[in-house]
Amino acid sequence: MPRILIIEDEESVRENILDLLEAEDFETIAAANGRIGVHLAISEVPDLILCDMIMPEIDGYGVLKALRQDPSTATIPFIFITAKSARSDFRQGMNMGADDYITKPFTRAELLSAIINRLEKYATLKRYLSPHTRINNLSPKTQLLEISLHRAIKQHNFQEFEIYYQPIVDIASGKIVAAESLLRWQSPELGMIYPTEFIPLAESTGLIIPIGKWVLKMVCQQLKSWRDAGIYSLIVAVNLSVIEFNQPDFIQKIINLIVTNDLEPHYLELELTESMIMQDINSAIATMNKLRSLGVKIAIDDFGTGYSSLIYLKNLPINTLKIDRYFIHNVASDPKKSAITKALIQMGHNLNLDVIAEGVETEAELAFLRKYDCNSMQGFLFSPALPAAEFENHVLKALKLKP
């Protein structure tokens, strides 16, 4: 499980966060002040750091500055916990390299949303380790994880994996119009393994190729099964790895899956991230054009958090813009997020794109999105990701209730 360091001098707040994270099966480390926090961060190298902004000895800014200067901790996701809400404080922290901030008092959902979002982004940095680096630096836990991953794929033929589906809902009608497919791994030896842990490992070992192939195969089979069950107009999105997207035979794999399952291509949507596209913009556009010529839909995931692809957006052959959950969180009460989100929705509409808001968790967030004509939403407010059978029952029930 991801390990999180909490640096907080107020004991009651620190204990509450520890209890909450341990209940969610995160590993935790705690520090009562900034000096201890810096020491623990360097010695333990956690997966994420939650740090109070105002503390004695070394405040949060000092902690962040020290950790960003040390190569071993420079890229660890860093989230400020603060009772201050002034824009200048937020801007100062972000300029120094913080990834996010949470304002006290915060809810369990707000905390978990920020943590999961940052862990997902951090996973993209843990790629392409050289063989020498891997041999010398893998911890015993990571070595066990790699052995288990190999076994789950090659010996157990993906039997430990399952694909969940999170509903995507049309905001105007309240109907489920699409779903995002999300991979889950239940290891007999290690328990439930978060994608943020095993996907970077799969990418660095090349195992992401068979994993991605299996996911696409299962999603296409599921689409066919749902169509046979009477669920016709449902789009299903699949997240792609950059390694998979750049494989020479990737287009042919997509063609084979469409033909084998007798699919209408426009019900399959492939999600790419900004960073994937910007690594080689010309090559990415060429591949995207080939996919679009097949009829497959393309979405840009987590828009606004990657590289500066805004100037390229008008040239990208895409159908859907997904606004990252960071901008949606507290969008109704945060003027800065509000302005950005309104602009993204309007821009998407001006480019004839469907706009989907990710991570919607409150009625206030939904009301804001409805007011500014965002097309669709996904998030815990409507439903978490569900196993395929539960998702199917949910959709079929809604169809039977349809007048």
- Whether the predicted pLDDT of 133 surpasses 70: no
Least confident of 102-106, 160-164, 278-282, 343-347: 278-282
Query: In this predicted structure, what is the pLDDT of residue 309?
Result: 53
Among 163-172, 269-278, 304-313, top mean pLDDT goes to 163-172
Q: Tell me what percent of the residues of the chain surpass a pLDDT of 70.
A: 90
User: In three state form, how does the secondary structure of 142-186 look?
Assistant: HHHHHHHHHHHHHHCCCCCEEEEEEEEEECCCCCEEEEEEEEEEE
Q: In whole angstroms, what is the distance from residue 27 CA to residue 184 CA?
A: 19
Cβ count near 38 (within 10 Å): 23
Query: In this predicted structure, what is the pLDDT of residue 303?
Result: 73
Please state, in angstroms and as integers, the Cα–Cα distance from residue 177 to each residue in 120, 171, 272, 276, following that order.
25, 10, 20, 26
Which pLDDT band holds residue 132 (cuts at 50, 70, 90)? very low
Q: What is the mean pLDDT of residues 281-302?
A: 93
Spatial CB neighbours of 80, under 8 Å, sequence gap ≥ 6: 51, 52, 53, 60, 64, 93, 98, 100, 101, 102
Q: In whole angstroms, what is the distance from residue 101 CA to residue 11 CA?
A: 19
Least confident of 61-70, 284-293, 359-368: 61-70
Q: In whole angstroms, what is the distance from residue 337 CA to residue 330 CA?
A: 8
Least confident of 47-56, 153-162, 242-251, 297-306: 297-306
- For residue range 265-288, list pLDDT tens digits in order: 999 999 998 778 877 888 899 999
Listed residue (189, 188, 193, 195) closest to 215, CA to CA: 195
In sequence order, the β-bridge partners of residue 79 are 50, 100
Helix pair angle (250-260, 281-294), 10° resolution: 20
Which pLDDT band holds residue 139 (cuts at 50, 70, 90)? low
- Whether the predicted pLDDT of 236 surpasses 80: yes
Listed residue (37, 30, 36) closest to 13, CA to CA: 30
Q: In whole angstroms, what is the distance from residue 395 CA to residue 226 CA?
A: 10
Listed residue (316, 330, 241) closest to 286, CA to CA: 316
Cβ count near 37 (within 10 Å): 30
Q: In whole angstroms, what is the distance from residue 222 CA to residue 234 CA?
A: 11
Which pLDDT band holds residue 122 (cuts at 50, 70, 90)? low
Q: How many residues does the chain have?
A: 403
- Whether the predicted pLDDT of 310 surpasses 80: no
Query: What φ, ψ does residue 93 adopt, rounded to 5°?
Result: -65, -45
- For residue range 170-229, list pLDDT tens digits in order: 999 999 999 999 999 998 878 888 787 888 888 878 889 999 999 999 999 999 999 998
Least confident of 39-48, 90-99, 234-243, 357-366: 90-99
Listed residue (203, 77, 211) closest to 134, CA to CA: 203
Q: In whole angstroms, what is the distance from residue 190 CA to residue 143 CA?
A: 12
Query: In this predicted structure, what is the pLDDT of residue 125?
Result: 43
- Whether the predicted pLDDT of 330 surpasses 80: yes
